[in-house]
Amino acid sequence: MSYSQSNQSFNEKQLRSILDNTVEGIVVIDSKGTILSFNRACERLFGHSTDEILGKNVNVLVPFPHHAHHDGYITNYLNTREAKIIGIGREVFGKRKDNSQFPMWLSISEVIEDGAHFFVGMIRDITEQKRHEGEVKKYTAALERSNSELDDFVNIVSHDLKEPVRGIYGYSQFLQEDYGMLLDEDGSNKLQCLMRLSERMEHLIDKLLYFSRLNKTELSHTNMDINKVIDEVLVMMEPFLLEQKASVVIETELPVVMCDQARVDEIFRNLIANGIKYNDNIEKIICIGVTTENKTKPGQQVFYVKDNGIGIPEKHYESVFKMFKRLHSREAYGGGTGSGLTIVKKIIGQHNGDIWLESKLGEGTVFYFTLEGNNERD
Amino acid sequence: MNATKSLEQYNGEGHYVLIVEDSPVDFEIISRSFLRVEFKPAVYHCTDGDEALEFLMLPHSKKQPSLILLDLNLPGTDGRHVLKSIKSDKNLHHVPVIILSTSNNESDIEFCFEYGADKYLKKPISLDEFANTAKVIKNFWEDQIIRHGSAYSA
């Protein structure tokens, strides 16, 4: 192709060629809807050849019952100059020569040249796009159903699993009440053991149920003043703190964060409780604060909960977050199901944050975490 | 040792509690806890929802229970349905119903109060804790039923 040197423009033949060879369909109509131009892409889209379609009304390409709308649009626009589709563009359906329909994106512009008034329509076939959207919808629905079924399953199973546990615990208690005096110390201990084990089973099932519910229930999104959140947590933990001779120090002013209050409560409660439980000092101290100068996430708001407890060996930095994983024997350090950190990590994940730790054996541990605010991503 | 580990069976006279509970362990826990807190009403025990409704709807059972303790998770006809049926029956809806449940589910709690349950009590696993629950029920009985007496024999 060669341009005319003077103004870099194309000649008519070249312009026609360009028009004819666009990927998108271009159809030109007059204000009565008569088709004046119909490019090659349109031939492919609609199945009509240019020759047979020129001079026909554009309604030929519009499926019933949208004809009426179509005529209405043009008339309305010419009378009111109010663009409902002109200059805008929208999803509509097109009708092929074989009467089949397809979804398309149509954008229309108006051309006024030498007293002639045209409308130029650009057409894109969006069948693929719609099919893809449809699949995403189906997939999302299936996923929701699956989640809902899983939750029902866990609910039912928990209840059914708990029943015999209640039975074992219950009858152990009756044995104790009715025949306890017939047992020697060893016998009594065994009975106590039985009861403890069934209690433990109940707790494990409860935690499992709770953890699975975390997946299902939606987070609430509110701007929370974390200072206030911690105040409330400390009020709730007061008896425990007193009993353990523990003090909690808030080292820095804490920010306002978009989060779910109940769940963020849970994060702090768990971390504080752990720092006190796994602690051999007479005076247990927990420090809480926020920093933007953390090496792992510089510039981000990183919360920390620091304790003067027993510390965690580096090789266990990952495994502490595993469900039901404890680092000590069953009853040591106040016992527990080993699910606290798993739940904390889950909640932080739901807030699109991260949690990690640093520790020195015999000196203490710091848990760091971010709460990057709720995106739709879960 | 174990003098009377069970509560008196309803013999057709006076106030009594209808206990709808399918688990024998839970029924025994209820009985023992009542006895522990010196609460000894006459009791009629049903182990499923249909049995309970049949008993309540018997035309000749003019003496309705003065209190119903209802477990939610019953085999067959579910406790929630039993609650609904009781509270929508004009001859029965005045009978107080206390729900005893292992469920902490908010939607269960909401449902029960929406359908007129008077109390929703969680069933703890330990006898000691259940004694507290028993006290609550005993106080309710003494307060609502004995004090208001004949209001509930309509």
Q: Distance between CA A266 and CA B138 in Å, rounded?
A: 35
Identify the CA nearest to A285 among candidates A251, A334, A255: A251
- Our CA-based measurement puts residue B102 at a distance from the nearest CA of chain A, in whole angstroms, of 8
Q: Convert the pLDDT of each residue in A10-27 to its tens digit.
A: 888 888 899 889 999 999
Residue in this structure with the two tokens 């060879």, named with its chain if needed? A21
DSSP-assigned letters across all residues of A70-130 = HHHHHHHHHHH---SSBTT-EEEEEE-TTS-EEEEEEEEEEEEETTEEEEEEEEEE-HHHH
In this prediction the ipTM stands at 0.80
Measured between beta carbons, the chain B residues lying within 8 angstroms of A162 are 102
Measured CA distances, A213 to A147, A174, A350, A355, B44 (Å)? 10, 34, 13, 21, 37
Q: Convert the pLDDT of each residue in A52-111 to its tens digit.
A: 999 999 989 988 777 656 666 677 777 777 666 677 788 889 999 999 999 999 998 888
Residue in this structure with the two tokens 């199901």, named with its chain if needed? A337
pLDDT of residue B125: 77
Measured CA distances, A31 to A47, A86, A119, A133 (Å)? 24, 12, 7, 35
Q: Convert the pLDDT of each residue in B30-76 to its tens digit.
A: 999 999 999 999 999 999 999 999 999 887 556 889 999 999 988 88
pLDDT above 60: residue B150: no
Task: Give just the sign of the alpha carbon dihedral A254, A255, A259, A261.
Answer: positive
Measured CA distances, B63 to A12, A288, B44, B50, B59 (Å)? 102, 63, 12, 19, 10
Give the residues across from B99 on adjacent strands. B70, B120
Coil vs helix vs strand at B129: helix
Identify the CA nearest to A28 among candidates A100, A149, A120: A120
Measured between beta carbons, the chain A residues lying within 8 angstroms of B73 are 159
- Our CA-based measurement puts residue A222 at a distance from the nearest CA of chain B, in whole angstroms, of 21
**Please, are residues A151 and A212 in contact by the beta-carbon 8 Å criterion?**
yes
Q: How confident is the model at residue A374 (pLDDT cuts 50, 70, 90)?
A: very low
- Our CA-based measurement puts residue B70 at a distance from the nearest CA of chain A, in whole angstroms, of 17
Identify the CA nearest to B137 among candidates B91, B69, B43: B69
For residue A284 the two structure tokens come to 């247990």
A166 touches chain B (CB under 8 A): yes
**Please, are residues A118 and A30 in contact by the beta-carbon 8 Å criterion?**
yes
Q: Convert the pLDDT of each residue in B101-125 to its tens digit.
A: 887 778 889 999 999 999 999 888 7
**Please, are residues A282 and A244 in contact by the beta-carbon 8 Å criterion?**
no
For residue A213 the two structure tokens come to 């519910």
CB contact under 8 A, B73 and A199: no
Measured between beta carbons, the chain A residues lying within 8 angstroms of B33 are none
Q: Convert the pLDDT of each residue in A146-187 to its tens digit.
A: 877 877 787 777 778 888 888 999 999 999 989 999 999 999
B108 touches chain A (CB under 8 A): no
Backbone angles phi, psi at A287, to 5 degrees: -115, 135
**Please, are residues B46 and B71 in contact by the beta-carbon 8 Å criterion?**
no
For residue A277 the two structure tokens come to 């439980």
Measured CA distances, B108 to A118, A150, A205 (Å)? 65, 19, 19
Q: Distance between CA B137 and CA A118 in Å, rounded?
A: 84
Coil vs helix vs strand at A357: strand
Coil vs helix vs strand at A251: coil
CB contact under 8 A, A177 and B127: yes
pLDDT of residue A345: 94
Residue among B32, B125, B127 whose CB faces A202 most closely: B125
A202 touches chain B (CB under 8 A): yes
Coil vs helix vs strand at A294: coil
Query: What residue of A is the nearest CA neighbor of B73?
Result: A159
- Our CA-based measurement puts residue A91 at a distance from the nearest CA of chain B, in whole angstroms, of 42
For residue A57 the two structure tokens come to 């009304």
Average pLDDT over residues B67-87: 92
Polymer length in residues for chain A: 378
Q: How many CB atoms lie within 10 A of CB A59?
A: 16
pLDDT of residue A211: 81
Measured CA distances, A82 to A14, A74, A115, A122, B23 (Å)? 34, 10, 20, 20, 73
Q: Would you give the DSSP letter of residue B90?
A: T
B23 touches chain A (CB under 8 A): yes
B127 touches chain A (CB under 8 A): yes
First-residue to last-residue Cα distance in chain A: 54
For residue A157 the two structure tokens come to 């199973």
Give burial (CB, 10 Å; 0-12/13-18/19+) of A104: buried
Q: How confident is the model at residue A227 (pLDDT cuts 50, 70, 90)?
A: very high
